Amino acid sequence: MATVDQHGIVQSARVVARGDVRAVLALPGVAQRGEMLLHNHPSGVLEPSDADSEVALRMHDGGIGFGIVDNEVSELYVVVEVPRNTEHGAIDATHVAQELGPAGPIAARLSRYENRPSQQAMSRAIASLYNDHGTGLFEAGTGVGKSLGYLLPALRWAAANGERTIVSTNTINLQEQLVGKDLPFLRGALADQQVRFALLKGWRNYLCLNRLHNTRDTARGLFESDKSAALETIRAWSEHTTDGSLSDLATPPHPEVWDE
């Protein structure tokens, strides 16, 4: 890791990980915002590999630069500059709340709009927390409209500052509601900004083709006949699924088969 001055000149460095001629660990949490991660290429070829580019992108999202050096540390190739600190643009918390009101863009898109003051109050409070870089804990019952209440200020903050928000849910069903319904709705309602989003699930929700291949070779010894049939169903599904996720299966497989 290296510290750099305001002109991008390396001032000092410290070792955080060592590897061999093939690879070195890119450990999370070892760098601080404003620093630069340096990766040594013993060959002296400073061109970034695909793995280097992936690490550089991840580092940049955290406010960290990425560079490649040779063994003598006489040459430095900067893959990604250290992001400069910028002032965050505040969002108008009152305006965000009003957008959920009767005269806002949300009401204009809903044929059965219902005015929900508690939803607007929640949205205003969350918008204020974004401005203050604060932390909040909210409890709201059914019917408040929580999803739009927190998604709207998140999207307005993204538009003002280019920063992502991670929404972690307790169930995959809610994840899919946000991605399949609420966020597309907001994309249509907020015509003045771009709305981008992606759904991420835990790795256990995705099919591993390598494990499927290995399991098929040993299926007779692993499973009873009915579970072997379930495995064959998964194999057939694997040839046409669009995303390989568990929720894409028409009938949920036996947990033992899926876990294997």
Q: How confident is the model at residue 61, as a pLDDT?
A: 79
Q: How confident is the model at residue 21, as a pLDDT?
A: 59
Q: How confident is the model at residue 203, as a pLDDT?
A: 81
CA gap 85, 88 in Å, rounded:
9
**Dihedral (C-alpha) 215, 219, 222, 223: value to the nearest 10 degrees?**
120
Tell me if the pTM is above 0.75. no
For residue 55, the SS3 value is helix
Q: How confident is the model at residue 73, as a pLDDT?
A: 84
CA gap 198, 18 in Å, rounded:
34
Type of residue numbered 156: R
Tokens 């280097």, residue? 52
Q: Which long-range contacts (CB under 8 A, 24 or more apart) does 198-203 make?
A: 199/175, 201/172, 201/175, 201/245
Each residue's pLDDT, cut to its tens digit, for the chain (260 residues) gives 888 876 667 788 888 887 775 666 666 667 777 888 888 888 888 989 888 888 888 888 778 889 999 888 888 888 988 877 667 899 999 999 999 999 999 999 999 999 999 999 999 999 999 999 999 999 998 889 999 999 999 999 999 988 889 999 988 889 889 999 999 999 999 999 999 998 888 888 888 888 888 877 665 555 566 677 778 888 889 899 988 888 888 888 878 888 87
Q: How confident is the model at residue 228, as a pLDDT?
A: 76
Q: Domains of the chain: which residue ranges?
A: 2-80, 93-189, 203-259
Q: Which long-range contacts (CB under 8 A, 24 or more apart) does 53-57 make?
A: 53/79, 55/26, 56/80
